[in-house]
Each structure stands twice: as C-alpha cells, then as structure tokens.
Structure 1
Amino acid sequence: MRYAIFTDIHANLEALEAVLARIDELAKEQPIDQIWFLGDLVGYGPNPNECIETLRKRTDVIIAGNHDWAAVGKIDLEEFSEAARISAEWTRDQLTDEHFEFLAELPERLQMGACTLVHGSPYGPLWEYLTSEVLAERSFQHFDTRYCIVGHTHVPIIFQQPDTYATTPTVPLTGEQEVQALVDNIAAEAEVQAADSLTEEDDDDTAEMVAVRPAQQQSAQAAPSEDVAHVAPHLEQQPGLLESDAEQAPESGDEDISLEDDTEGDEEQERDLAEDALVGEETQELEKEADVLEEMDEEESHGERVTSEADILSAEDSLNQEIEELLALLGLSQSMVEVTNDMIVPPEGNWKAPAGYRAIVNPGGVGQPRDGDPRAAFMIYDTERGFTFYRVDYDFKKTQEKIEKAGLPPYLATRLAYGR
C-alpha cells in the first residue's frame, strides 16, 4: 500500500496545487492508494474556501489542526500570536457556512493501520510541537502503532525509538510525579537531620525539666486529695474533744492512766492515718507532676518538629522554583528524562525504519515551510519500502500578492520567500 501524506497547507492554494500535481505524476509511475492530510488547512493564507474545496475532493483522510479549530471558535485565540489571531479572525469571516461546519467537525486523531495520525503530537494532538528528543520521548508512550505521523512544526523530522522501550514508561511521564518524589526525599532527610541536631545542652535542659521536686515542696503546693479532705477535719477536731473529756473526767489515778493511754493510742492511730493519707497524696501528686512535665516535654518536642517542617516547606518551595525553571515546554526537562530515541533530519529521498524500531514522522509543511527551504513538502509512505520525502517548487510570489491584497499582515507574505 502507498499513501501520499502532507500537512499545513494554511490556505496556500498555489502550494497545494503544486503538491497534488506532483502526487499525480508519482501515481502514474506507481499507484497511490490514498491521500492523508494532517491538519491546518486554513490560517495565514488567502484562499481558505478554495483549499477546503480542493482538499475535500482529492483526499481520503483529513484531521484537524489548531488553526482549523481556531477559525471556527473551538480554540481560544488568546493563545495565538498577533498575526495568527488576525488571520484566524479574517478566515472566519471568509468561510462559507458549509466549510465552517466541515472544519468544526474534523477529528483531532485517527488510527489508520500501522499509523496514528495527529497534527501536533500523540501527547498533545493539536498544540504540542515535537522539536526535540526530550519532547518526543513522552509522545512515544501515547500511541500503540508502529508509526505516528505528525505536522505542526512545518519542518521535516523523524524520531525513532527501539521497540523494546515501547511499553517502558518514560521517567517521568509527568513532572508532578518527579517533583513529589524529590519533595518526599527532602522531607525525610530534613526530619532525620532535625532529630540528630539535638545538642547535649538540649538534653540537659530536658532532664532538668522532668526532675522531681522534693516531696515536702510538692505537697505544700498541691491541693488536698479526697482522703486528706476526710481525715484533716477529724484531726482538727480531735484535740479539742480530748481536752474537754480530760477536764470532765474524775480525778482517779487508774482512770486517768486508762484515759491517757487511750488518748495516746488514739492520737498515734490518727497520726498514722494522716501520714498514710499524706504519703498517698504526695504519690498521686508526684505522678500528676510527672505526667504534666512529660506533656510539656512532648509539646516542646512537637515545637521542634514544627520548626523542622518550616525548613522542609522552605526547601520544597526552593525545589519547586528550580523545577519550574528546568521544565520544558510541556512539563519535561532534559535532566528528568532518559532519552531513548534519536532525531533524524531526513534529506529528500527514502528512509526506512530499522527492524525493531518505532518512529514519529513529520513530512514538513506545504503552505508555509519553516526549515529554510521555501519549497512545499510532502512524503509517500510505502508499507514495504518506508518513507520517501519530496520538495516541490511553487509560485509563492502569486500567494504573496494575494496575502497583501487581502489585507493580512505583510509578514505572512514575506516569510514564504525564505521558508521561515
């Protein structure tokens, strides 16, 4: 099977007609089964309706480009340069209702046999420019076919990757995963360093805080326990009762001795009870003091952890800033990605992917080349022989005159002569 493939006409009718004429010549030599177009039919150029009409007649497959959807309001023009925005607004005013609806309904991605077709990249079908191996690395994870055919950059380019990496995730697939892993590592290290940074003086201070005061000092400050509250009033009243009983008692020697013995026994018993109660009170208060001091120690330790967390957050902010500076166009950086693909700038002629390799292939632009060659670009994909790249001369001066007459930015006309 043989397929003629091109992209990025940008309403340049002269370039489109030249490419189709060359395809017809090649088809006479060897049949071409289908013609595929990869988006950006309009925008920049002066003949949007004519190009849409011609392409609909001649092609078998058409997918959307960012300029196609911008012209029909499916993409916000704030993302466009001034020249692109002016051109999109002008194009919108020129489109017929039928062509407007046609552009609005174009798909942004198709799979045709061994090929995935997108305008920008398989990761960002409309917007991503594949200009480096780093960006291509991620895109290899977003299509399952052997080939992905793209446009958008207006530059012929090939990225090839050994098929052994096809199911191996790119490291990282997203910058957020890598950032989070780095942040977690920094946080763990900071906590360990904070724990190790306690000095001997800090330990001495902590030991001094939990030192138990003498029992006498603690009991003087402590509120009486429930047992002491019951015993203490009895102790206060008992001496008075004993004194009253002594005054009223007969002056008999035996009775005095008996009363004195009983009184002394009662007093000794009361003292023992009071001492036991006080000891119990002091023990409880010691336990309470220890609990309070332990809580204070935990709070102080928690305070130290809060300080360490602040340091961690500061380190995290610093890391995020560095990551942001290193991120590439869509969230990847050279240092964060193991590149497993090669970039090839294809010359005119044939290229075939090595056995066991997958590839992302860009044929270059038709209506506004940007590789320094003003000739229109396209390619033939032969399922047996690989890819053949072609360049075709066209009358760009005629297109320039149309651009100027339409009142479009002059820059859009000037660049055609330089292929930039």
Structure 2
Amino acid sequence: MQVAICTDIHGNRHAFEAVIAAAEQAGAEELWCLGDLVGYGAEPDACVALAAEHAAICLAGNHDLAVVEVLSLDDFSRGAALAARWTQEVISDETRQFLLSLSPAGQGEGFGLFHASPRDPIWEYVLSGLTAELCFDSTDFRVSFIGHSHVALSFHRPEGFPAAGSTQREGIELDLTQGDWLINPGSTGQPRDGDPRAAWLLLDTQRQVCTYQRAEYDIAGAQAAIRAARLPDSLAERLQYGQ
C-alpha cells in the first residue's frame, strides 16, 4: 500500500491542501497525520476538517492537546501560547471534539506512529543519535514515524551498530528492510530545515521503502491569513524562509 505521511500542519490550510493533492497525484491510498493540526497558523477549523475527511490515521500533537486544555500553556513559548489561546477562542465545537478524540501514539500496517517519540509521544525532540538510541530501546516497533521537530530527518540503527542520523532532502529514498528506523517527514505547515515547501513522505508499506517529498504551496496566502488574525507577524514571516 502507498501511504502519505505528514505532520505538524499547524493551521496552515494552504500547505495541507497542497500535500493532500500531491499525495493523491503520487498514488497514495491512505494519509497518516502525526499531529499538530493546529497551532501557529490561522485556519485551524479548515485543517481539522481536511484531516477528518482525508486522514485514515490522525494523532494528537502537543499543540492540539494544549488547545483543548489537556496540556498547560505554561510550557509553551510566548508565540506558541498566544497562537494557542487565539485558537481556543475561534475553533468550532466540532474541531474541539475531533482534537479531544485523538491520541499522540498509534500504529499502522505494523509501523509505530508517534507525534514526538516512542519514549515520550508528546514532548521529546529526537535530534541526536543518543536520543534515537534510547527511543529504539523503548519500543517494540522496528520502524517508527515521528514528528514534532519540524525537520526532515531519519535515524538508523543497523544490527550491531549504534544509531546515527541525518537530515533529508526531497527525493531521498530510504530502504527500511534492515535495522531499526526513526523517520521524520518534516513539517507540512511550518518547516524549519531551510526549505519552505510543505514536507511529507511517501511510504510503500509492502516494499518497506519511503521517499521524502516536498510540495509547493501558496505561502503568501498562509501569511495573509496569519496577519488577518493579528497573530504575531513572526509566525507569518518565518514561513517564506523555512525557519
């Protein structure tokens, strides 16, 4: 089965729509979303509606859980907290109920799915080989997909060797048949790896191969929505730089 995997949408409807269209064009039969449907962007209801319509699996991210008051905003940066409070005020009851129904961890076709990490599905950033090593030891899944860091990257632990990782670019294909893997498709709605295009991943579940993907989207439209909502301008500005 061909599966599109995305994460960290953050209320960016334009980016999410572009990824859904690109995934359909690539022949994806299912869409899996690893969380943070809402957060920094200005169209949370639209993003949740898209996930409800298109995603076969959808996880909760830390921003989703904060917006429905499962998590405290005390642990969020100023900009993230301001955006979360705004989102709390504007979302519909349907959006709120959908977010409340989600979990930060799951599985699909034998693969582990976590918003942040297998060890801590809500908060942990997997950005080093040591952290990846600890995550591998905490889960029975040989291959897991994660989000949260907004960076397209992967960590691999071959049999008998320590874990090592690297950032990944569009078109890179990974053979997942050997060893342990942690794979982050990168952020759809707010990439932070220097590439402003919406990030996603195409997984062939039978061949156990995945390919990093990017989709062009209307960045100016997403920025205009943020500014119209009077959210911090930095949230709009950063989109054009992928930072």
Matched, 1:415 2:238: yes
Q: Pick the aligned partner of 2:78 from 77, 82, 89.
A: 82
- Alpha-carbon deviation of 1:132? 0.9
Checking the alignment, whether the CA contact within 8 Å between 1:160 and 1:359 is kept in structure 2 is yes
- Alpha-carbon deviation of 1:116? 0.5
Distance 2:13 2:176 in 1: 36
SS at match of 1:387: strand
Counterpart in the other structure of 1:137:
133
Matched, 1:346 2:161: no
Residues 25 and 142 of structure 1, relative CA distance in 2, 3 Å threshold? same
Matched, 1:54 2:58: no
- Alpha-carbon deviation of 1:385? 5.2
Gaps of 5+ in 2: none
SS at match of 1:142: coil
The worse-fitting range, judged by mean Cα deviation, of 35-44 and 378-387 is: 378-387
Q: Which has the higher strand share?
A: 2
- Alpha-carbon deviation of 1:164? 4.7
Q: Which of the pair has the greater relative contact order for Cα pairs under 8 Å at 6+ separation?
A: 1
- Alpha-carbon deviation of 1:342? 1.1
Distance 1:380 1:352 in 2: 10
Q: Which AA in structure 2 matches 1:362?
A: N
TM-score, scaled to structure 1? 0.56
- Alpha-carbon deviation of 1:354? 6.0
Distance 1:350 1:402 in 2: 32
Matched, 1:18 2:14: no
Q: Which AA in structure 2 matches 1:381?
A: L
Distance 1:109 1:388 in 2: 22
- Alpha-carbon deviation of 1:345? 2.0
Matched, 1:39 2:64: no
Task: String of CA shifts for 1:245-264, please: whole Å, max 9, x gaps.
Answer: xxxxxxxxxxxxxxxxxxxx
Counterpart in the other structure of 2:199:
377
SS at match of 2:4: strand
Residues 355 and 26 of structure 1, relative CA distance in 2, 3 Å threshold? closer
Counterpart in the other structure of 2:6:
6
Checking the alignment, whether the CA contact within 8 Å between 2:177 and 2:208 is kept in structure 1 is no
Matched, 1:389 2:190: no
Checking the alignment, whether the CA contact within 8 Å between 2:34 and 2:61 is kept in structure 1 is yes
Residues 164 and 93 of structure 1, relative CA distance in 2, 3 Å threshold? same
Checking the alignment, whether the CA contact within 8 Å between 1:353 and 1:359 is kept in structure 2 is no
Task: String of CA shifts for 1:233-272, please: whole Å, max 9, x gaps.
Answer: xxxxxxxxxxxxxxxxxxxxxxxxxxxxxxxxxxxxxxxx
Identity of aligned residues (%): 40
Q: Which has the higher helix share?
A: 1
Task: String of CA shifts for 1:104-149, please: whole Å, max 9, x gaps.
Answer: 1201111223310001011110111111111111101121122110
Q: Pick the aligned partner of 1:402 from 221, 225, 229.
A: 225
TM-score, scaled to structure 2? 0.96
Q: CA RMSD in A?
A: 1.3
Residues 162 and 15 of structure 1, relative CA distance in 2, 3 Å threshold? same
Gaps of 5+ in 1: 166-339
- Alpha-carbon deviation of 1:351? 2.2
Task: String of CA shifts for 1:313-369, please: whole Å, max 9, x gaps.
Answer: xxxxxxxxxxxxxxxxxxxxxxxxxxx101122232242336531100000000000
Matched, 1:357 2:179: yes
How do 1:34-183 residues align onto structure 2 when only pairs under 5 Å count?
Answer: 34-164=30-160
Q: Which AA in structure 2 matches 1:154?
A: H
